[in-house]
Every structure is written in C-alpha cells, then in structure tokens.
Amino acid sequence: MSASLHVDLSTPNLGIQEFMGYDPLVSEVFRPTYSLTDGYLHPGDEPGLGVEFDEKNANKFPYNPAYLPYARTFDGAVTDW
C-alpha cells in the first residue's frame, strides 16, 4: 500500500486509490507511517516508503505453506476455474 501511495502521489492524472485497511495482526509486524484522514491517504514524514518491519514480532507468525487445489477435467488436464 505504501509503495502504491508513493506512485500515486507522483502521478499527476491519478483518479483514485482504493484502501480497505488491514487486519489488526498486520500492524504487529508492519508499522506504516501513512494515515487515512478525511478520506485522504497521507504518506507521513519517514524516509523511504515509510514502513517499519518488526522482525521480532514477525517470528510469532511462522510460515505455513498452503496450496490451492488444481481444477482438472475428467481426463486429468488442468483447466480454469
């Protein structure tokens, strides 16, 4: 989101940037400096993209691989959903 916001701010003919927010768990690992105020996203004053990454808290959420099922036809060929 932060990278998109920076691209948006440098694009003079931008129309709209959608923002739905994030699950509160996300803020335990990623702390953005951007804010949503009165319907506008503000980038904050931190250098770079303005997102702090908390590696210590990230260790609380180990990666568990998950795989989407394959959609196959009766003859075994992979197909679209």
pLDDT of residue 81 exceeding 80, the answer is: no
The pLDDT assigned to 38 comes to 93
| Mean pLDDT confidence for 42-52 | 91
* C-alpha triplet 39, 40, 42: angle, nearest 5°: 145
pLDDT band at 34 (very low <50, low <70, confident <90, very high): very high
Asked whether 6 and 13 are in contact (CB, 8 A), the reply is: no
Residue with tokens 């916001």: 5
| Mean pLDDT confidence for 32-43 | 91
pLDDT of residue 8 exceeding 90, the answer is: yes
| Mean pLDDT confidence for 42-60 | 93
* pTM over cut 0.95: no
